[in-house]
């Protein structure tokens, strides 16, 4: 008689507190079940202490004899994977928790790849992320409690597509005070991160028959792709030692720029180039999309106010909580010219499908209570200290490497000797240090003229920072 289980994989979804998928392979049922259970424990799918189903019900679920399950359980108890006690059934042993894998150096990542660091990286200096260990959990929790307690019933329904009025009101004050933005709550639209705001804006621009949008020669391809996906052509503006040449703006219907702190090169757009951009927008009936992603973090002197202050009817201002708090919140805001506010809100939908009301109310409470200012001030000090330590370490250990750009933000550009970027990024990866080269941020239509690293000194947690800095110094040419 042939064995019906031979060479067959038997899978069953059994209920073990939570659903568990067990796959039995091969003709040896007991061994197959033991392997499947060991694997589930090893990978953490069955947590320590989890109660397993009785041998009778697991046997019924799997369609095998009860003894097969009972024997498998008994052997796994003997091996220490499970425990069995009268009255409390069979459970995953506390000691059987999967051991953390030994850390490995990251395999080489492609030079300049704009990907997240591999899991194995010991140190991460990718730009774009703040110190996630510094998220003010306690203050946020207090603000959330106050916000939830005070929330009107309508906050639990579908909201205004522009976002909660409480948050828009608080932001209008904050942005005027901290960034020199001319803002009115009616002209603010809350969005789910800058990328979402840019998607909305791109949709509106296309509906207005805009075809071309100018961008900077260095930036994030994810942003250029959002514009392209909406059917907009992008042209890269030329760059010189003073920054983006806004005098080269021409027939485009809009320009996307980072005037307070060019991303990633790090310069501030000089006043005459800011003025040239606004003059062009007025002349051409065009729009400036101002990405103020890290305007709160300037260390050398008083922050330059937002470009939007020069002409609120020609500039769309974008701010985000991704750097000042955390990207995980997915909260950002747009301050719009009067003529556009309705169109952008409409592009978002008839109601607010994108941003959760409770997080918006919590952020409103967080800002109005002063907790946001306190957090930004404390992070400013911390990032400033890291930047100073980076500059000092380079002066001592790699004096030929220059840091370009202004003292601001959460990242710095290190200028490398020509032709060395790729090998430095690769060498770093081999040693477990995740780094990104400057070339990964170059617009494909722009010629490569320099080698560099974009070092995200805001990314490591406090305890990891010294090690990351040391690892960086060790891989520099
Ligand atoms: C240049 C630039 N703009 C905007 C953002 C913020 O994006 P979001 O608000 O979608 O997280 C980032 C974040 O990394 C950025 O680097």
> Model confidence over 93-123: pLDDT tens digits?
886 544 444 333 333 323 333 435 555 578 9
Question: What is the rounded distance in angstroms from the CA atom of residue 456 to the CA atom of residue 438?
Answer: 12
Distance, CA of 253 to chain centre? 29
Give the atom of ligand 1 at the shortest distance from the alpha carbon of 196: 10
User: Quick one: DSSP state of residue 24?
Assistant: E
Question: What is the rounded distance in angstroms from the CA atom of residue 89 to the CA atom of residue 229?
Answer: 56
8 A C-beta contact, residue 269 and residue 259 = yes
Q: Which has the minimum average pLDDT: 11-20, 331-340, 423-432, 456-465?
A: 11-20
When pLDDT is averaged across residues 76-87 and rounded to a whole number, the result is: 82
When pLDDT is averaged across residues 312-329 and rounded to a whole number, the result is: 98
Give the residues across from 243 on adjacent strands: 240
Question: What is the rounded distance in angstroms from the CA atom of residue 216 to the CA atom of residue 255?
Answer: 8
8 A C-beta contact, residue 408 and residue 294 = yes
* Closest protein CA for atom 4 of ligand 1: 293
How far apart are the two ends of the chain, measured CA to CA in Å?
A: 71
Give the atom of ligand 1 at the shortest distance from the alpha carbon of 219: 1
Residue tagged 């002209």 (tokens): 187
8 A C-beta contact, residue 188 and residue 334 = yes
- CA distance to 135, 223, 256, per residue, from 330 (Å): 14, 16, 20
User: Quick one: DSSP state of residue 364?
Assistant: H
Position 21 pLDDT exceeds 80: no
* Closest protein CA for atom 14 of ligand 1: 128
Distance, CA of 116 to chain centre? 10
> Which of 114, 132, 194 maximizes ligand 1 atoms within 8 Å of its Cβ, making it the mutation to test the pocket?
194
> Both tokens of residue 347?
């592009």
Question: What is the rounded distance in angstroms from the CA atom of residue 443 to the CA atom of residue 215?
Answer: 9
Q: Which has the minimum average pLDDT: 83-92, 255-264, 318-327, 432-441?
A: 83-92
Contacts of 74 (CB under 8 A, 6+ apart): 84
> Which of 225, 297, 320 maximizes ligand 1 atoms within 8 Å of its Cβ, making it the mutation to test the pocket?
320
The predicted pLDDT at position 56 comes to 84
Question: What is the rounded distance in angstroms from the CA atom of residue 139 to the CA atom of residue 251?
Answer: 48
Cβ atoms within 10 Å of 35's Cβ, excluding its own:
17
Smallest CA-to-CA distance from 82 within 72, 74, 92 is with: 92
The full set of domains in the chain, from first to last, is 10-96 (1.10.10.10), 123-127+374-475 (3.90.1150.10), 137-369 (3.40.640.10)
Question: What is the rounded distance in angstroms from the CA atom of residue 258 to the CA atom of residue 243?
Answer: 11
Q: Which has the minimum average pLDDT: 146-150, 333-337, 460-464?
A: 460-464
For strands 89-92 and 82-85, give the pairing. antiparallel
> Both tokens of residue 219?
């930036």
pLDDT tier at 336, thresholds 50, 70, 90: very high
> Both tokens of residue 135?
């998220």
Residue 438 CA to ligand 1 center (angstroms) comes to 17
Residue 289 CA to ligand 1 center (angstroms) comes to 13
Give the atom of ligand 1 at the shortest distance from the alpha carbon of 195: 10
Identify whether 10 is preceded by a cis peptide bond (ω within 30 of 0).
no
> Model confidence over 349-397: pLDDT tens digits?
999 999 999 999 999 999 999 999 999 999 999 999 999 999 999 999 9
8 A C-beta contact, residue 107 and residue 122 = no
Residues at CB less than 6 angstroms from ligand 1: 128, 193-195, 220, 258, 263, 291, 293, 320, 322, 327, 332
Smallest CA-to-CA distance from 381 within 268, 297, 470, 469 is with: 297
Cβ atoms within 10 Å of 447's Cβ, excluding its own:
7
Mean pLDDT of the chain: 88
> Model confidence over 58-79: pLDDT tens digits?
887 777 888 888 888 888 887 7
8 A C-beta contact, residue 301 and residue 381 = no
Coil vs helix vs strand at 321: helix
Smallest CA-to-CA distance from 308 within 457, 467, 122, 178 is with: 178
The predicted pLDDT at position 96 comes to 56
Q: C-alpha angle with apex 436: 431 to 438, nearest 5 degrees?
A: 140
Region label for 396, one of left (φ > 0), alpha (ψ between -120 and 50) or beta (otherwise): alpha
């Amino acid at each position: 008689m042939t064995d019906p289980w031979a060479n067959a994989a038997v899978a069953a979804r059994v209920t073990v507190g939570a659903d568990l998928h067990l796959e039995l392979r091969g003709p040896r049922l007991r061994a197959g079940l033991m392997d499947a259970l060991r694997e589930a424990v090893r990978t953490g799918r069955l947590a320590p202490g989890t109660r397993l189903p009785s041998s009778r019900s697991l046997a019924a679920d799997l369609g095998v004899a009860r003894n097969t399950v009972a024997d498998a359980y008994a052997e796994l108890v003997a091996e220490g994977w499970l425990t069995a006690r009268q009255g409390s059934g069979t459970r995953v042993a506390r000691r059987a928790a999967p051991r953390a894998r030994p850390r490995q150096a990251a395999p080489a990542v492609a030079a300049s790849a704009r990907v997240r660091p591999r899991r194995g990286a010991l140190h991460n200096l990718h730009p774009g992320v703040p110190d996630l260990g510094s998220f003010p959990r306690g203050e946020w929790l207090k603000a959330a409690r106050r916000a939830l307690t005070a929330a009107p019933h309508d906050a639990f329904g579908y909201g205004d597509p522009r976002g909660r009025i409480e948050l828009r009101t608080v932001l209008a004050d904050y942005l005027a005070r901290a960034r020199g933005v001319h803002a009115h709550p009616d002209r603010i639209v809350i969005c789910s991160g800058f990328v979402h705001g840019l998607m909305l804006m791109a949709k509106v621009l296309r509906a207005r028959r805009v075809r071309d949008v100018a961008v900077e020669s260095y930036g994030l391809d994810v942003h250029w792709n959002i514009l392209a996906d909406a059917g907009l052509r992008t042209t890269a503006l030329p760059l010189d030692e003073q920054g983006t040449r806004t005098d080269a703006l021409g027939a485009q219907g809009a320009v996307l720029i980072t005037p307070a702190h060019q991303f990633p090169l790090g310069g501030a757009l000089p006043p005459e180039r800011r003025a040239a951009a606004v003059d062009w927008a007025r002349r051409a009936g065009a729009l400036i999309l101002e990405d103020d992603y890290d305007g709160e973090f300037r260390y050398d002197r008083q922050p330059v106010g937002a470009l939007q202050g020069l002409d609120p009817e020609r500039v769309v201002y974008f701010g985000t909580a991704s750097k000042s708090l955390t990207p995980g919140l997915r909260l950002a805001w747009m301050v719009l010219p009067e003529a556009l506010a309705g169109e952008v809100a409409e592009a978002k939908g008839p109601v607010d499908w994108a941003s959760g009301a409770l997080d918006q109310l919590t952020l409103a409470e967080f800002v109005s209570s002063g907790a946001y200012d306190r957090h930004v001030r404390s992070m400013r000090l911390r990032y400033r200290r890291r930047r100073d330590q980076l500059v000092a370490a380079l002066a001592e250990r790699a004096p030929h490497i220059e840091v370009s750009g202004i003292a601001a933000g959460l990242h710095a550009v290190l200028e490398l000797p020509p032709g060395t970027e790729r090998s430095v990024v690769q060498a770093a990866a081999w040693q477990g240090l995740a780094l990104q080269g400057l070339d990964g941020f170059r617009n494909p239509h722009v010629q490569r003229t320099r080698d560099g690293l974009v070092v995200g000194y805001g990314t490591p947690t406090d305890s990891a920072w010294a090690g990351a800095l040391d690892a960086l110094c060790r891989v520099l040419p």
